Amino acid sequence: MNKSIDRGIDEVKVKHPESGAMIDMASFLKQTYTDAFVVIQGDEIVYEKFFNGMYANQPHQMMSVTKSFGACSG
């Protein structure tokens, strides 16, 4: 898989789920205790960020999030 990181994604405004405030993506990921966030377009990784000691090849317990991946596999 190719990697072409788009740093502009850090500035995308999103609505905070609790406060309703519009904040940039980088702040949103930190404030929502996100461990890893990856955006893939086609066969390219266009954005990836890791927090809380996580890194790209580290296994991570995903719990109920796996339902989303399983539902899209067909």
Quote the pTM value: 0.66
Measure the CA–CA gap between 2 and 25, rounded to whole angstroms. 23
Q: What pLDDT digit, counting tens, does each position of 25-62 carry?
A: 888 888 888 888 888 888 888 888 898 888 888 887 77
Domain ranges of the chain: 2-71
Q: What pLDDT digit, counting tens, does each position of 5-26 carry?
A: 777 888 889 998 888 999 998 8
Q: Which residue has the higher pLDDT, 28 or 68?
A: 28
Count of CB atoms within 10 A of residue 59's CB? Answer: 6
